[in-house]
Amino acid sequence: MKLRRWITAGAVATLAALNVTPATAGRPYDPAAQSLRDLAMRHGLYVGTAVDLAALNDATDPRYRELAASEFSTVTAENAMKWESLEPTRGTYNWGPADELVAFAHQHHQRVRGHVLVWHNQLPSWLTSGVEDGSISTAELRQILHDHITAVVTHFKGSIWQWDVVNEAVSDPWDTPSTLHYKGFWAQHLGPGYIADAFRWARAADPKALLFYNDYNIEALGSGDPANDKTQFVYEMARDLRAAGVPIDGIGSQGHLGTQYGNYDTFQVATALKKFAGLGLATAFTEVDVRSQLTDGVQAGDSAEINPRLQASAANFGVLLRACLAESHCLSFTLWGFTDKHSWVPGWFKNPPEGMATVYDENYQPKRAYQEMKADLIYSGPPFVLPRVPQQPRR
């Protein structure tokens, strides 16, 4: 299997070097009939999706499993590797669903992004209530974090390509105080030093996985108040971690966009990726979706309201994908779900209602965004889009 992968990679690299496209005997080559994963592999880029294990196992919904396997070359557990899923009771791990996803990925020759080791959300209540009622001390909390990271990374050792080690540690300008700061449960209880600790502990447990910091609203620099720029804040954090010898290998930019916002142009996003690459870091888009407000008109099927949303969505997927293609250290482009049938958006953004956030509609029909992604993968190449530069894990 390893050998086969090498041969495939070699063939793809050779074709890319020759700048030719494969043809099937007798039939003209139709790039638009290829999968996203095959088209992305021309650039050495992995294209991924978050996977909802319930949908994957739903025998009445086979299309979900088919597309998860055929269109993507990397997968992320949408929830199954979060702390509350893996360790719902203290010291008792429930590996089953996450292991199932790893096996699925293996079967379909996909890589796995591990999501997530340290985050302030979806923590088990034994942990949060123990800290709240004082039965878990600060020293014990630090030990618990160490033990969790060590157990999880060790369990999946050898199966994870990129780990989201720390997720969403930085505040937003609309938080209080509005000056950017380290926010949430871990910073409150352990101070910001937990970030360096987490990377070191993860590296000790798996010397080969790439270790990522992951966050949202870091797609571009200079949006909003330049003195309070979240992307710049994360850049400086990563720079300082690297300077201190902390084993961080990459920055994950989640890429949750909305058509009601201004969003970015491709150059702005490429500039941010390039700035991170300047630190010797890989980058990845890790949770891309583009939601829209479901106005009364949209819900009533008014095409005058639906069409501009579909077009703006396609444009935004394209902006992020082209920026990633343009920066050869951008290793993967992961969608946070691929069908509106199973997207977190309608359940999460309710006031006003939002949805239409993925590249396939609720009936698994590809939308304009899907076609736009394909076109971007097809109509790009040297000299401005080059093969990906593999990242070596930092010791």
Q: Which of 194, 201, 338, 344 binds ligand XIL (CB under 6 A)?
A: 344
Report 274-293 residues binding ligand XIL (CB under 6 A): 287
Q: Is 354 in the site for ligand XIL (CB under 6 A)?
A: no
Site string for ligand XIL, 234-263 (x = CB under 6 A): --------------------x---------
Cβ 316 vs Cβ 259: under 8 Å: yes
If one asks whether residue 78 binds ligand XIL (CB under 6 A), the answer comes out as yes
Binding of ligand XIL by 340 (CB under 6 A): no
Is 219 a catalytic site residue?
no
- Count the alpha carbons within 13 Å of 62 in the hemisphere toward its beta carbon: 0
CA-derived radius of gyration, the chain: 21
Of 200, 233, 202, nearest to 215 by C-alpha is 233
Residue 203 vs 291, nearer CB to ligand XIL? 291
What's the CA gap between 146 and 5, in Å, rounded? Answer: 35
As a whole number of angstroms, the longest Cα–Cα distance in the chain is 72
Identify which of residues 119 and 194 has a Cβ nearer to ligand XIL in the complex.
119
Q: Which of 71, 287, 327, 372 is catalytic?
A: 287
329 DSSP 8-state letter: T
Please identify which of the residues 78, 168, 354, 372 carries the catalytic annotation.
Answer: 168
Q: Of the candidates 164, 375, 153, which has an alpha carbon nearest to the alpha carbon of residue 287?
A: 164
The closest alpha carbon to 215, from 186, 247, 256, belongs to 256
Among 49, 74, 162, 167, binds ligand XIL (CB under 6 A): 167
Q: Would you call 341 exposed, middle or buried from its count of C-beta atoms within 10 A (0-12, 13-18, 19+)? A: middle
User: CB of 53: closest distance to ligand XIL in angstroms?
Assistant: 11
Q: Cα separation of 14 and 178, whole Å? A: 51
Rounded to an integer, what distance in angstroms lies between the CA atom of residue 390 and that of residue 53?
A: 29
Least separation in angstroms between CB 343 and ligand XIL: 8
Catalytic status, residue 168: yes
For residues 74 and 328, which CB has a smaller minimum distance to ligand XIL in the complex? Answer: 74
Q: Is residue 87 at the binding interface for ligand XIL, with CB under 6 A as the rule?
A: no
Residue 79 within binding range of ligand XIL, rule CB under 6 A = yes
Site residues (CB under 6 A) for ligand XIL? 78-79, 167, 254, 287, 344
Residues serving a catalytic function are: 168, 287
